[in-house]
Amino acid sequence: MSRVVLSIPRLCSVSVLGFVVLFPASGCDSRSRKASARLRDEVHQLKEELKLSKHEISELEAKLAEATDRVGGNVDMALNMPRVAAIELSPYSSLRWKMNSGEEAALDLHVTAVDGRSRAIQLTGTLDVVARFMPANGESIELGRVSLSEAGVRDAWRAGVLGASYQVEMPIRRDLLVEDQGGIHVSARFTDALTGVEHDATVEVRVPARPGE
Would residue 185 count as lying in a domain?
A: yes
The string of pLDDT tens digits covering residues 82-141 is: 889 999 999 999 998 877 655 578 999 999 999 988 899 999 999 999 999 887 777 888
Same domain, 93 and 29: no
Residue 59, exposed/middle/buried by CB under 10 A (0-12, 13-18, 19+)? buried
What pLDDT, on the 0 to 100 scale, is given for residue 189?
A: 97
- CA gap 104, 96 in Å, rounded: 9
Which domain-ending residue is among 41, 66, 81?
Answer: 81
Q: Are strands 165-172 and 94-97 parallel, antiparallel or unpaired?
A: unpaired
Same-domain pairing of 75 and 167:
no
* 51/78: higher pLDDT: 51
The conformation of residue 180, written as its DSSP 8-state character, comes to T
* More confident call, 19 vs 139: 139
Whole-angstrom CA distances from 72 to 53, 77, 79, 191, 194 are: 28, 12, 14, 25, 17
Same-domain status, 110 and 189: yes
Alpha carbons 110 and 156: distance in angstroms, whole number: 10
pLDDT tens, position by position, 174-195: 777 766 567 899 999 999 998 8
Residue 128 lies in a domain: yes
| Domain extent at residue 29 | 11-81
- Closest to 124 measured CA to CA, from 75, 171, 163, 87: 87
Distance CA 167, CA 163 (A): 12
Most confident of 39-48, 96-105, 161-170: 161-170
Is the same domain home to 68 and 43?
A: yes
E strand or H helix at 35, and its extent? helix 28-68
Report how many helices (DSSP H) and strands (DSSP E) the chain contains, helices first.
Answer: 3, 11
- Do residue 50 and residue 30 come from a single domain? yes
Whole-structure pTM value: 0.65
* Total number of domains in the chain: 2
- The CATH code of the domain that includes 154 is 2.60.40.1940
